[in-house]
Amino acid sequence: MVDKGKVIEALMSVNDPELGKNLVELGMARDVVIDGTAVRFTLALTTMGCPLRKRMMDEARDALLAIDGVDDVEIECREMTDEERAHALPKQAQQPEPGAAEHLNHIKQVVAVMSGKGGVGKSSVAAMLAVALRRKGLEVGVLDADITGPSIPKMFGLNGVPPMGPVGILPALTSAGIKVMSINLLLPSEDEAVIWRGPLIGGAIKQFWGDVVWGDLDVLVVDLPPGTSDASLTVMQSMPLNGVVLVTSPQDLAGMVVRKAAKMADQLNVPTIGVVENMSYAICPNCGEHIAVFGASRAAETAARLGLPLLGRLPLHSELARRCDAGEIEQYGLDEFGAIADTIAANLSQTASSPIFNS
pLDDT in tens, 190-243: 777 776 776 788 888 888 998 999 999 999 999 998 877 777 888 888 899 999
Give the C-alpha separation, 330 to 30, whole Å. 56
Give the C-alpha separation, 70 to 89, whole Å. 31
DSSP string, 42-101: EEEES-TT-TTHHHHHHHHHHHHHTSTT--EEEEEEEEPPHHHHHHHS-HHHHSPPPPTT
Whole-number average pLDDT of the chain? 87
Span of 181-190, 267-276, 317-326 with lowest mean pLDDT: 181-190
* pLDDT given for residue 269 in this prediction: 85
CATH of domain 102-346: 3.40.50.300
Task: Give the pairing of strands 290-291 and 282-283.
Answer: antiparallel
For the chain, where do the domains classified as CATH 3.40.50.300 start and end?
102-346
* pLDDT given for residue 90 in this prediction: 60
For the chain, where do the domains classified as CATH 3.30.300.130 start and end?
4-94
- Greatest mean pLDDT range, 35-39, 97-101, 237-241: 35-39
Give the C-alpha separation, 324 to 121, whole Å. 11
CATH of domain 4-94: 3.30.300.130
Give the C-alpha separation, 42 to 51, whole Å. 17
- Model's pTM, two decimal places? 0.73
DSSP 295: S
pLDDT at residue 94 is higher than 60: no
